[in-house]
Chain A
Amino acid sequence: MDSDLVKANLNLYAVLKNLEDLCEYDKEMKDLISSWNISIQFIVRNGPSAFLHFSRGKCEVARGSMKNPSIVLFFISPSHLNRMFDGKANPIPFKGFTKLGFLSKEFPRLTDRLSYYLRPTDELIKNNDYFKMNTRLTLNTAAFSIPEIAAFDSTGIKISSKIPDGTVVMRILPGFHSASITFSGGAASAQKGDTENPMAVMEMKNLEVAGDFLNGRSDPFTAIASGDVSIMGLIPMLDNMSILLDRVQHYLS
């Protein structure tokens, strides 16, 4: 297992994915991107690739490559990408030299805002708007991390091979947010939103419970026994998924 590769996948497919919701639910960021019509392709040698596309006030983050991106950012290795996410390295622009101003001034406002929401402090979470956004993005990060852990982490591969096919839904009640993870043949895929006929469900009864639960501030067993978190369906799917989720912290702190 190459831990840099796993981390690069998590950064690109789970962390960066949050830009979509950030641009939708944070008014300042929504305003910031409202006039953007630009796309950024991330290419990592011997690693993952993904692109961002800003258009008509929306942000889309997707795996793979797009045709004719405005900007191409190249990374010589997964480690290079990870260092950039940690603020310790810069990408190599391959295309879009005329957009360097965008990259150095406008785009960092977005990524800085993402970092802000993903690094909660005791003080910050007292702010209700911050707490809401942090909880939403944490659920997304968890859901979109699972396919990467299942595919690239050596323990994750063993565990996911035992998870039966079907979809697990994680819901924050009442109707605040949800994410679905579908397992098939040992592989996993994630999407935001609910699904019909899930095989297992985890419901957090409110935003406060979800924030504590997802950020590891509450004990899962106690939360379940007390009814703050309800689980139902094929519980082994949730048990195994929980082990996959706990693997994330080996890569992302």
Chain B
Amino acid sequence: MKTFKYSASQKLFKRAASVIPCGIYGHYSPAPLVPASSYPFYTVSAKGSRFRDIDGNEFIDYMCAYGPMVTGYGNRKVDDAARKQASQGNCVTGVPPVMVELAEYMTDLVDSADWAFFAKNGGDVTNYAVMISRAATGRNKIIMVSGGYHGVSSWMQGDGHYGVSDDDKKNVLVVKWNDIAGFEKTVRENSGSVACFISSPYHHPVFADNEFPAPGYWQKIEEICRREGILIITDDIRAGFRLDMRGSDRYFGYKSDLTCFCKAMANGYPISALTGTEELKSTAAKVFYTGSYWFSAEPMAAALANLKEMSKIKAPGIMLKTGKKLLDGLVSIASSYGYDLKVSGAPSMPYLRITNDPSLMLHQDWCGECTRRGAYFTSHHNWFLSTAHTEKDIKQTWNIADDAFKAVKRKYGDRF
């Protein structure tokens, strides 16, 4: 099978590195793409489930722009709605009526939502949610799960990370996922001072197996939080609308006070949302929070069209089913080469790991080999499925995976 080369990507990266800090920053940084030489850096076009890089290579995309693409690149219904709104005005003086329509739609759609607030990125709304929780409770401390990710604000980043001071972290308490006793202990030791528990609905860290809540976990957490007056913030930025259109708290059987949405909202148009309960609406109104582009109409129109389409086609069910089919096949192919490909998390956003090598080097090589053959797999992060992935994509991916397993078998022999 032909493998790709990335000379144009590398050439452009060199130009980028001279004028952009680290060339490509943030979650698009090539650093965790191992080996970086197996990956394209620059994309020139995309359609459906596929994108084409600057070297002309075409990939079946299993990262979906790290989540925002959910109903296919260039989805006609979403893009038409966005274009129509843009032709009437996008970022203009005054609030676009579509904002009200979108808020009404989301409060009908999301079980725990009595109101909706819109911003641009996930981190905008996780921050806002924490501020609301502090304002509502008069408390300062936040509990989060070790390995959880809620954006790039300094309170969220790791100890010792660049630009983060000890003061930034002093009100952040960290517990382990699925550890109810640890959570209770933390709450007890900080009685009366914890404003919120912020967590993804299930645990999806990078470089580690993803974990669903243990039976009864969320219900017990909810019980403790209600008893102690701690607000539950669900960071549904990654999982939102990929498990359940009504919100992932509904999927796991608990009720969130504040829920953060972003990635799957608008199929790539820049918008995020915080939804909340009626009890928190007046507090939300009091917390001053805004941004220059937060009233842009085009992404709101796109979000409305995208969410309606997702509801109509029951998108989470499609992605879960497509994901399961893809993953079952990959696991079976891996097994035929003597490799144990472990899948964790939801099939619509799975994390994979070849367990034969705990250092992940074998897995990294396999993901790199798949990518060089046209199935864009990362080894450090959960993947994302979309409703645009087809039967043809899956079959082609299986063929690619098979050839990539042959390549790593040649490299490692019977070492694993």
Binding site for B on A (CB under 8 A): 155-156, 158-159, 162, 166, 197-201, 219-222, 224-227, 230-236, 243, 246-247
Contact A243 B13 (CB under 8 A): no
- B372 contacts the other chain (Cβ, under 8 Å)? no
Contact A226 B14 (CB under 8 A): yes
Contact A224 B10 (CB under 8 A): no
Out of A200, A230, A243, which one reaches B160, CB within 8 Å? Answer: A243
Contact A235 B207 (CB under 8 A): yes
Contact B359 A200 (CB under 8 A): yes
User: Which chain A residues lie closer than 8 Å to B158 at the CB level?
Assistant: 159, 162
Contact B13 A231 (CB under 8 A): no
Given contacts A227-B36, A232-B361, contact A159 B159 (CB under 8 A): yes
Which residue of the partner chain B has the closest CB to A243?
B160
A159 to B159, CA, bound (A): 7
Contact A225 B160 (CB under 8 A): no
- B22 contacts the other chain (Cβ, under 8 Å)? yes
Out of A200, A201, A219, A236, which one reaches B17, CB within 8 Å? Answer: A219
Q: Report the interface size class on chain B.
A: 20 to 34
Contact A233 B360 (CB under 8 A): yes
Q: Across chains A and B, which 7 residue pairs bring their CB atoms closest together, nearest first? A: A221-B22, A225-B30, A155-B160, A158-B159, A233-B359, A222-B17, A199-B359
B337-372, CB < 8 A from A: 358-361, 364
B23-82, CB < 8 A from A: 23-25, 29-32, 34-37, 41
B2-23, CB < 8 A from A: 10, 13-14, 17, 22-23
- B380 contacts the other chain (Cβ, under 8 Å)? yes
A219 to B34, CA, bound (A): 18
User: Which chain A residues lie closer than 8 Å to B37 at the CB level?
Assistant: 227
Contact B30 A155 (CB under 8 A): no
Contact A243 B161 (CB under 8 A): yes
User: Which chain A residues lie closer than 8 Å to B359 at the CB level?
Assistant: 166, 197-200, 232-234
Contact A221 B29 (CB under 8 A): yes
User: Which chain B residues lie closer than 8 Å to A230 at the CB level?
Assistant: 35-36
Contact A225 B36 (CB under 8 A): yes
7 contacts between A and B (CB under 8 A): A158-B159, A219-B23, A227-B36, A227-B37, A231-B34, A235-B207, A246-B162
Which residue of the partner chain B has the closest CB to A155?
B160
User: Which chain B residues lie closer than 8 Å to A234 at the CB level?
Assistant: 207, 359-360
Contact A156 B160 (CB under 8 A): yes
Contact A219 B22 (CB under 8 A): yes
A197 to B23, CA, bound (A): 32
Contact B36 A224 (CB under 8 A): yes
Nearest CB of chain B from residue A8's CB, rounded to whole Å: 21
Contact A232 B364 (CB under 8 A): yes
Nearest CB of chain B from residue A95's CB, rounded to whole Å: 41
* Pair count A-B, CB < 8 A: 82
Which residue of the partner chain B has the closest CB to A224?
B31
Contact A235 B13 (CB under 8 A): no
A227 to B380, CA, bound (A): 18
Q: B165-201: contact bitstring with A at CB < 8 Å (1 yes, 0 no)?
A: 0000000000000000000000000000000000000
Out of B31, B206, B360, which one reaches A225, CB within 8 Å? Answer: B31
Contact A225 B24 (CB under 8 A): yes
A232 to B32, CA, bound (A): 9
Q: B113-137: contact bitstring with A at CB < 8 Å (1 yes, 0 no)?
A: 0000000000000000000000000
A28 to B386, CA, bound (A): 66
A165 to B216, CA, bound (A): 31
Out of B10, B159, B364, B380, which one reaches A226, CB within 8 Å? Answer: B10
User: Which chain B residues lie closer than 8 Å to A233 at the CB level?
Assistant: 359-361, 364
Which of B13, B25, B37, B359 has the largest count of A CB atoms less than 10 A from its CB? B359
Contact A225 B13 (CB under 8 A): yes
User: Which chain B residues lie closer than 8 Å to A235 at the CB level?
Assistant: 31-32, 34, 207, 380
User: Which chain B residues lie closer than 8 Å to A155 at the CB level?
Assistant: 159-160
Contact A236 B207 (CB under 8 A): yes
A156 to B34, CA, bound (A): 26
A55 to B375, CA, bound (A): 59
A220 to B162, CA, bound (A): 14
Contact A232 B160 (CB under 8 A): no
Which residue of the partner chain B has the closest CB to A167?
B359
A165 to B161, CA, bound (A): 21
Supplied contacts A220-B31, A227-B37, 17 more A-B pairs, CB within 8 Å: A162-B158, A200-B359, A201-B361, A219-B22, A220-B22, A221-B24, A224-B31, A225-B22, A225-B29, A225-B30, A226-B10, A226-B13, A232-B34, A233-B360, A234-B360, A235-B34, A235-B380
A238 to B178, CA, bound (A): 27
User: Which chain A residues lie closer than 8 Å to B207 at the CB level?
Assistant: 234-236
Which residue of the partner chain A has the closest CB to B25?
A221
Given contacts A219-B17, A222-B22, contact A158 B36 (CB under 8 A): no
Given contacts A232-B364, A235-B207, contact A224 B30 (CB under 8 A): yes
A247 to B159, CA, bound (A): 12
Contact B160 A158 (CB under 8 A): yes
Q: B88-110: contact bitstring with A at CB < 8 Å (1 yes, 0 no)?
A: 00000000000000000000000
Contact A199 B30 (CB under 8 A): no
A156 to B160, CA, bound (A): 8
Nearest CB of chain A from residue B42's CB, rounded to whole Å: 12
A58 to B314, CA, bound (A): 73
A71 to B35, CA, bound (A): 51
User: Which chain A residues lie closer than 8 Å to B358 at the CB level?
Assistant: 199
Contact A225 B364 (CB under 8 A): no
User: Which chain A residues lie closer than 8 Å to B36 at the CB level?
Assistant: 224-227, 230
Nearest CB of chain A from residue B88's CB, rounded to whole Å: 41
Contact B34 A221 (CB under 8 A): no
User: Which chain A residues lie closer than 8 Å to B14 at the CB level?
Assistant: 226
Given contacts A158-B160, A227-B37, A243-B161, contact A221 B364 (CB under 8 A): no
User: Which chain A residues lie closer than 8 Å to B24 at the CB level?
Assistant: 221, 225
A246 to B41, CA, bound (A): 27
A166 to B13, CA, bound (A): 33
